[in-house]
């Protein structure tokens, strides 16, 4: 769990922050720009909050693994899970449909290339 949230979740947030969000803002029709900026701001705020929740929970998990500490409260784990569930629900219900509507194949390919590069994966041409 620690490795996943230290690597994959962190890379996912970077994917959004550095690639997806700027592409959405650049591509969305003018009449949707303010709503898109608001959505992006809300998700960026989520990333900050999720990061803080993770750092707190990570310390407890590492201690638990090292010495069998019982410092991780069920409420702490539940808050983390619920925050991620809300964030993912917004991504699936709002961000992905918006991306499918406004991003062209070139933008999607560029985002995919950056995602692969971020993870050290060599992409094979389709």
Domains of the chain plus CATH, in order, are 2-118 (1.20.120.520)
Of the candidates 118, 122, 99, the one whose C-alpha atom is nearest the C-alpha of residue 11 is: 118
Q: What is the pLDDT of residues 74-121, one digit of tens each?
A: 888 899 999 999 999 999 999 999 999 999 888 888 888 888 888 888
The encoded tokens of residue 74 equal 């069920």
DSSP track, 41-87: HHHHHHHHHHHHHHHHHHHHHHHHHHH------HHHHHHHHHHHHHH
49: pLDDT strictly greater than 90? yes
126 pLDDT exceeds 60? no
Q: What is the pLDDT of residues 57-81, one digit of tens each?
A: 998 888 888 887 666 778 888 999 9
Dihedral angle computed from the Cα positions of residues 83, 43, 115 and 101, in that order, rounded to the nearest 10 degrees: 120
pLDDT at 40 over 80: yes
> The pTM is what?
0.83
CB-based contact 96:87 (threshold 8 Å)? no
């Amino acid at each position: 769990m620690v490795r996943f949230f230290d690597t994959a979740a962190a890379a996912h947030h970077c994917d959004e922050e550095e690639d997806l969000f700027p592409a959405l803002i650049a591509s969305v029709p003018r009449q949707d720009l303010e709503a898109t900026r608001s959505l992006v701001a809300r998700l960026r705020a989520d990333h900050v909050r999720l990061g803080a929740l993770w750092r707190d929970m990570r310390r407890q998990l590492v201690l638990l693994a090292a010495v069998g500490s019982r410092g991780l409260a069920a409420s702490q784990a539940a808050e983390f899970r619920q925050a991620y569930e809300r964030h993912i629900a917004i991504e699936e219900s709002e961000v992905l449909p918006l991306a499918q509507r406004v991003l062209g194949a070139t933008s999607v390919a560029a985002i995919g290339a950056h995602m692969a590069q971020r993870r050290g994966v060599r992409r094979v041409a389709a």
